[in-house]
Amino acid sequence: MNQKQIAITASGLTMKFGSLVAVDNVDLEIEKGTIYGFLGPNGSGKSTTIRMLCGLLTPSSGSATVMGLDTRKESESLKQKIGYMTQRFSLYEDLSVKENLQFISEIYAVPRKERKQRVAELLVSFSLADRAKQRSGTLSGGQKQRLALAAATLHKPEILFLDEPTSAVDPQNRRDFWETLFELAEQGTTIWVSTHYMDEAARCHRLAILDEGVKVADGSPRQLGESINSHVIEIEADDPNKARLCLMKSEEMTSITQLGIKLRIMIPKTISDPLQLVSRKLSAENIEAKTEQVFPDLEDIFVSVTQQRRKGSAS
């Protein structure tokens, strides 16, 4: 049996800005060749964590290693092993697509005899060859995204850090982008993706959920769904609003979300027969509905673990 290889570890990673604790005592262990998602709303500490792991910010406390390098002591050596794609397009808009890639090849000290070939390879593989002479500032959102990823992978990094990489592109470009990420992971690249999109996080091999700087869950989407302390019931009712108002009266319902004509209800696992409970409540008010217990999706998981954490903090 092959021993797993670890790309990133962190122990007690903490970042404070004055009295604000942006990242609070985060532990991590991420295997090589995986796509690891960091899911959380804006302001939850995702970008700050990335910057600490890239060696761009020194933690207030705790430690981290990336590809065996200490992020505090070996940040310069680390920069040659990682690619970092920021949320905002950060290349030079006045330079052409090709000029940007040529410049990045010099920044990363790609051997001179390899630069021309490497730039040409990337222009083709990221479908930018016909845009090579176009000024980067005039590209569409999807084209800018492809250029930014090409630049981040130019020096063939072992780890890619992607900070909200698809926040400004359409669904088709997002899908194409993820196909590229899976190809890179197949080739052995470890990929860290921070996101607030639930559907995007569901594509990751593993993910952590961050809430107000605290890691509240970590595992595969399947593992996280199995581990939450809530049943999830889906209800299809002729009058969903009436059903929602009926169920809101019950303290057992910890979350009620309406999705079109359907309701999605979360009930603590301490209740042994949640379907019977829901059916009884609806029947008492003569509401016709179909009920079904379903597997939690990432939105359910996020709501459950953050509610649990906040209840624990309040008690």
Mean local confidence (pLDDT), 246-257: 91
How many helices (H) and strands (E) the chain has is answered by 11, 14
Provide the percentage of residues in the chain whose pLDDT is more than 90: 73
Which pair of structure tokens corresponds to residue 166?
A: 């698809």
169 or 44: whose pLDDT is higher? Answer: 44
Mean local confidence (pLDDT), 57-83: 93
pLDDT of residue 267: 95
Cβ pair 225, 68 in contact under 8 A: no
Confidence of residue 197 (pLDDT cuts 50, 70, 90): confident
pLDDT of residue 1: 41
pLDDT of residue 100: 93
Classified as helix, coil or strand, 162 is: strand
What are the chain's domains? Answer: 6-224 (3.40.50.300), 229-295 (3.30.70.100)
244 or 311: whose pLDDT is higher? Answer: 244
Mean local confidence (pLDDT), 139-167: 90
pLDDT of residue 132: 94
| Beta-bridge mates of residue 96 | 135
Mean local confidence (pLDDT), 123-129: 92
Largest CA distance in the chain: 78
* Angstrom distance (rounded) from CA 110 to CA 142: 26
Nearest to 87 by CA among 14, 9, 169: 169
Order of strands, edge to edge, in the sheet holding 262-268?
A: 255-259, 262-268, 230-237, 289-294
Confidence of residue 2 (pLDDT cuts 50, 70, 90): low
Where do we find the tokens 């909200």? 164
Q: What is the mean pLDDT of the chain?
A: 91
Which pair of structure tokens corresponds to residue 225?
A: 């769904």
pLDDT of residue 312: 64
Query: Please, what sign has the CA dihedral across residues 211, 217, 219, 225?
Result: negative
- pLDDT at residue 245 tops 60: yes
Mean local confidence (pLDDT), 212-224: 94
Kindly report which listed range (51-60, 69-78, 300-309) carries the lowest average pLDDT score.
300-309
- pLDDT at residue 208 tops 80: yes
* Angstrom distance (rounded) from CA 273 to CA 133: 64
Pair type for strands 159-163 and 190-195: parallel
Pair type for strands 6-17 and 61-66: antiparallel
Nearest to 66 by CA among 14, 20, 6: 6
41 or 151: whose pLDDT is higher? Answer: 151
Mean local confidence (pLDDT), 90-110: 91
- pLDDT at residue 98 tops 90: yes
Where do we find the tokens 């959380």? 40
Q: Looking at the chain, how many residues does it have?
A: 315
pTM: 0.87
Confidence of residue 286 (pLDDT cuts 50, 70, 90): very high
pLDDT of residue 314: 56
Query: Please, what sign has the CA dihedral across residues 60, 63, 68, 70?
Result: positive
